[in-house]
Structure 1
């Protein structure tokens, strides 16, 4: 009697979001060793392997939004037969606004091991560069294309205190920022991160209304938007003494006054000028 084959392993591989040299060394090894490579775009996969100098020997199949449901059972069968299946998407981590969730869920259900090659993430990179609080955040992915549905989705998180992260297409950015300004408030702080790790990387920070006006002139490239969470309830009622106290606490912890003022403004959801004026008044009072 022939023993049943050991089950294989599903490897989710993070790929560079721009700069090819960000690829982790393990990615090249996994590409070379995989029995099956499921790629969102096989042409991009060829460019990736060429750039890394990797010779693949495994079977390459396409795995994208249009065939994800149909191809998942085939890949699960390969895993059940002992194959090492590598899943790569165009950029970043599979399953994060990219194909992958269905395959992971199906593999987990069958008791198949799933692991990952950590790699670049537009979500975390934009969050770190935004200058907004990073201790707690929510990733909201892409907003609906229709204006009414988009506004409804934004309304659901209008009171969310955590920092919000979104993906958006460049041709919809101005409409999205305008909708955010209408729902969250024109003065809500945000950052638009464009072409991260690429030659023309740009991070534009400011109030939502100001960013919407800037985006109306036209923006190109891959976009990630980071928005400050909702201000504390009653933040507009905080007196100058409380604002000054919060700045001093941060200064005593080692922050420079300029950074402390900016951080408190974001924390309570007030314009930076209001906090600055309170600190200046206390100094001369």
Structure 2
């Protein structure tokens, strides 16, 4: 039997009764990080929510999950096995999906226990409407790829009353917001970190206002961004990114960018040639 177990985002009291029951049954635990899992179980035992029990712990994360499953037999799951991500729901920007595929292929009984995730909780906190949202996990690491992804979602969601929810690390948060500012400086942004924890904090406003607010605080912890792109008028106005990504000669591109930004044609031309290399 295989259980996929949701874990608290931060507040220990958010652990569900069903998760506690399953943990008590499990003899083996696959963990995104065994140290995090063992610490969580120890705290639950100290709080009297879980009885002490001897369990085997195995590391199971995005870097080793394929090789792990290739090197075990389906008999491994004859005992009660649980998978725990570090926080939140398995399979939601966390490992777990490959386990489901393995269980289905080998006809291993499995159960996924429900609980909240950072994406749904952040959407509720944002108050940006109950008509739905699109979840896109973590944005790409590279700025150019990130901007293309944001342009894509702005185009897709512009005619819809839907929010975009993404995760971001503290190391790339400001860069992602600055990329968003280039795409849509009127985008309504709600960002929140450390949900359910002692240092939970959030900022809201257009992307320029949020950047200013975050610049005055410590950027620690994992962040969730809830974005509502500004409505695009029917009259289309050419922007920097559209010109940069267009398939036109560098000299013409430089002239257009100069007219849009006020910077010299020469500066833009050298920049375009450099990026092209």
> Same fold judged by TM-score > 0.5?
yes
Q: Is 1:172 aligned to residue 172 of structure 2?
A: yes
Measured in 1, the distance between the counterparts of 2:110 and 2:100 equals 7
Match in the other structure for 1:281:
none
Q: Is 1:207 aligned to residue 206 of structure 2?
A: yes
Following TM superposition, by how much is the alpha carbon of 1:135 offset from its aligned partner in structure 2, in angstroms?
2.2
Aligned residues: 226
Residues 1-285 of structure 1 correspond to what in structure 2 (within 5 A)?
A: 9-53=1-45, 54=50, 55-74=52-71, 77-78=74-75, 82-159=78-155, 160=157, 161=160, 162-183=162-183, 185-217=184-216, 218-229=218-229, 231=231, 234=234
Three-state SS of the structure 1 residue aligned to 2:24 is: helix
> Is contact 2:135-2:164 (8 Å) kept?
yes
TM-score (norm 2): 0.75
Measured in 2, the distance between the counterparts of 1:155 and 1:232 equals 12
Following TM superposition, by how much is the alpha carbon of 1:151 offset from its aligned partner in structure 2, in angstroms?
0.8
TM-score (norm 1): 0.73
Following TM superposition, by how much is the alpha carbon of 1:76 offset from its aligned partner in structure 2, in angstroms?
6.2
Measured in 1, the distance between the counterparts of 2:170 and 2:57 equals 31
Match in the other structure for 1:277:
none
Instruction: Show structure 2 runs of 5+ residues with no match.
Output: 237-277
Following TM superposition, by how much is the alpha carbon of 1:100 offset from its aligned partner in structure 2, in angstroms?
1.1
> Is contact 1:22-1:120 (8 Å) kept?
no
Instruction: Show structure 1 runs of 5+ residues with no match.
Output: 1-8, 237-285
CA change 1:235–1:75 in 2 (3 A) is farther
Match in the other structure for 2:270:
none
Give RMSD over aligned pairs: 2.1
